[in-house]
Amino acid sequence: MTDPLADAKAKMIAKRFGGATASSGKGKVRRNKKGSSRSSSAQSDAKLGVALKKLGATNIPGIEEVNFFKEDGEVIHFVNPRVQAAIQCNTYVISGPNETKPLQDLLPSIVSQLGMDNIAQLQNFAAAAGGAAPVAEGADDDDDDEVPDLVEGDDFEAVSEEK
């Protein structure tokens, strides 16, 4: 005869686990394999790469630094960035390690990149710090490119012959 304890155990297992004790076979639920997940940044980088390829973006070599000037006076500074451009779509992608720095930290190397808004911010900073006297509003550092105003009464031909 069979052991009543073993029969009770088999019935309990069958009731709890849905029948037989085997984990595989016909009619059994398949165990899902847990796949390795990629990080969200890797997924977004892959999606960005596919989108840029569709746009026909090409790498632009030889760019040593890129600066983005923010409204609050800070600068996003990239050193040796990877620059990709799809010129026909007016799309540029700049990627790589970057830092957000105050404008003063990058002086004087970025003076040539400053626009009028940034020069005004720089003048305000210099005045607040007690530095150099503020330059008049609207003054530009490349005044020699502009045509000077005409002055009445000057005979320029006579002045040029005197020299």
Instruction: Summarize pLDDT for 92-112 with one digit per residue, the tens.
Output: 899 899 999 887 777 777 777
Query: Dihedral of the CA atoms 147, 150, 154, 156 (nearest 10)?
Result: 30
Cβ neighbours, 10 Å, residue 53: 11
Is there a domain that residue 2 lies in? no
Residues in the chain: 163
How confident is the model at residue 7, as a pLDDT? Answer: 87
**CATH number of the CATH domain containing 107:** 2.20.70.30
Its domain, for residue 86, covers: 53-130
Residue 85 predicted with pLDDT over 80: yes
Q: Looking at the whole model, is its pTM more than 0.85?
A: no
Is there a domain that residue 118 lies in? yes
- The SS3 call for residue 95 is strand
Is there a domain that residue 102 lies in? yes
CB-based contacts of 97-101 (< 8 A; 24+ apart in sequence): 100/70, 100/74, 100/75, 100/76, 101/74, 101/75, 101/77
Domain count, the chain: 1
Contact by Cβ (8 Å): 136, 120:
no
Euclidean distance between CA atoms 10 and 22, whole angstroms: 12
DSSP for residue 128: H
Is there a domain that residue 150 lies in? no
Query: Quick one: pLDDT band at residue 43, thresholds 50, 70, 90?
Result: confident
Is there a domain that residue 89 lies in? yes
| Most confident by average pLDDT, 26-35, 69-78, 130-139, 140-149 | 69-78
| Most confident by average pLDDT, 42-46, 91-95, 155-159 | 91-95
Residue 142 predicted with pLDDT over 70: no
Is there a domain that residue 96 lies in? yes
Contact by Cβ (8 Å): 123, 114:
no
Is there a domain that residue 77 lies in? yes
Is there a domain that residue 99 lies in? yes
Q: How far is CA 151 from CA 93, 94, 154, 155, 157, in A?
A: 50, 49, 6, 9, 13
Sequence-ordered list of residues with C-beta below 8 angstroms from that of 58, at least 6 positions apart, any chain: 84, 85, 86
